[in-house]
């Protein structure tokens, strides 16, 4: 399965949920927000959200700014 | 004699803050520097942006820990958004990430000036108010737009004194006075501050608070400038309430002439 994660193409084997992907990127879940194909996915929805080929995933957190 | 209200107490979105200085974090280079400038500024409300978790803007993580340790309230922003739709999505992401309905709404309309797109800004504000957000829009010094934003249900309006990061101060003080009279919600001067006198002037013009980032974070000595800003905002607020003397064309002696010896 090929995904775009934070603008970078990634190839992941088998079935992967959004919760799995976030866990690969960070040990944190607080302070993290995720959008898939431009839609916000609430934290409670991460485990049930199976990722599909071609999904564009944005995994975001606190940054300096403003 | 009754006790006057504390000069610094500031009600915003149903919360009372002890400081009228709101600190932006744009330009900080490390969580350690962030902690020092927050403490020096006395700010109780601090902005935070939302960026990709692997970007350098996150400074390797640790921002949220610093903000929690300082006991400040988070004000997430929609910095960099160009359309209402994009800004609304980022606001919802920020609410997910930071568990706050407060949002500093920025919808940029021009690359060189970074001034807001009035049409997209008002549209985004209306949608976010309907979604239950406490909306603090970054706007221009246009009193009419400010009124439209207030009428849409924004908790404050945040006019620019000058373009973001320009350090030019307050370009049109009269517009700020007019804007102050055009809305009942708090007015927060946001953007353009270069040095302490700019922040004091904003308060003297009747602003309720000042939001600044670059003026502190990009100063040669950010901690010293954060301290200066803290005092400037307090001084400007005091002066605004103290009733300044009228401007005169000619001098008016401060020392009485009466009793002067003949020599």
| Mean pLDDT per 10-residue section of chain B, whose length is 263 residues | 61 95 94 96 97 90 92 97 98 96 98 96 98 98 98 98 96 96 97 97 97 97 98 96 95 92 93
Contact B53, A57 (CB under 8 A): no
Known binding residue B19? Answer is no
Neighbours of A66 (CB within 10 A): 24
Residue B36 among the catalytic residues: no
Distance CA B35, CA B132 (A): 31
What is the count of structural domains for chain B?
1
Pairing of the two strands B102-105 and B73-76: unpaired
Query: What are the chain A neighbours of B93 within 8 Å (beta carbons)?
Result: 33-35, 40, 60
What does the pLDDT read at residue B1? 44
Give the residue numbers spanning the domain of B101: 10-242
Q: Is residue B249 part of a domain?
A: no
Known binding residue B192? Answer is yes
Element (H, E) at A13: none
Which runs of E-coded beta strand occur in chain A?
A: 2-5, 8-11, 32-36, 39-41, 56-63
- Catalytic residue (one of B20, B95, B104, B237): B104
pLDDT of A41 > 80? The answer is yes
Q: Is residue B5 part of a domain?
A: no
Known binding residue B14? Answer is no
**CATH number of residue B183's parent domain:** 3.20.20.70
Q: Is residue B250 part of a domain?
A: no
CB atoms B61 and A61 under 8 Å: yes
- Nearest Cα residue to A34 out of B127, B25, A25, B81: A25
CB atoms A31 and B75 under 8 Å: no
CB atoms B50 and A61 under 8 Å: yes
> How much is the ipTM here?
0.94
């Amino acid at each position: 399965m090929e995904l775009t994660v934070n603008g970078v193409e990634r190839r992941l084997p088998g079935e992967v949920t959004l919760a799995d992907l976030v866990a690969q990127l960070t040990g944190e879940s607080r302070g993290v927000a995720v959008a898939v194909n431009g839609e916000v996915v609430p934290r409670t929805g991460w485990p049930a959200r199976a990722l599909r080929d071609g999904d564009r995933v944005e995994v975001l957190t606190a940054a300096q700014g403003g | 004699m009754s006790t006057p209200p504390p000069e610094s107490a500031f009600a915003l979105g149903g919360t009372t803050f002890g400081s009228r200085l709101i600190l932006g974090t744009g330009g900080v280079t490390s969580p350690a520097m962030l902690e020092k400038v927050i403490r020096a500024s006395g700010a109780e409300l601090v902005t935070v942006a939302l960026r990709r978790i692997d970007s350098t803007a996150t400074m390797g993580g640790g921002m949220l820990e610093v903000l929690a340790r300082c006991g400040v309230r988070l004000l997430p922003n929609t910095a960099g958004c160009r359309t209402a739709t994009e800004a609304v999505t980022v606001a919802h992401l920020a609410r997910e990430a930071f568990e706050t309905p407060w949002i500093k709404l920025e919808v940029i309309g021009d690359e060189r000036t970074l001034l807001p797109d009035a049409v997209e800004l008002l549209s985004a504000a209306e949608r976010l108010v309907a979604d239950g957000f406490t909306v603090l829009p970054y706007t221009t010094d246009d009193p009419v737009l400010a009124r439209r934003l207030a009428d849409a249900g924004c908790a404050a309006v945040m006019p620019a004194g000058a373009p973001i990061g320009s350090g030019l101060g307050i370009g049109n003080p009269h517009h700020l006075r007019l804007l102050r009279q055009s809305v009942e919600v708090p007015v927060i001067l946001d953007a353009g501050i270069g040095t302490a006198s700019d922040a004091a002037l904003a308060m003297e013009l009747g602003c309720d608070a000042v939001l600044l980032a670059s003026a502190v974070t990009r100063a040669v000595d950010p901690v010293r400038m954060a301290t200066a800003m803290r005092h400037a905002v307090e001084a400007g607020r005091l002066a605004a309430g103290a009733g300044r003397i009228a401007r005169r064309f000619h001098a008016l002696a401060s020392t009485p002439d009466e009793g002067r010896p003949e020599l």
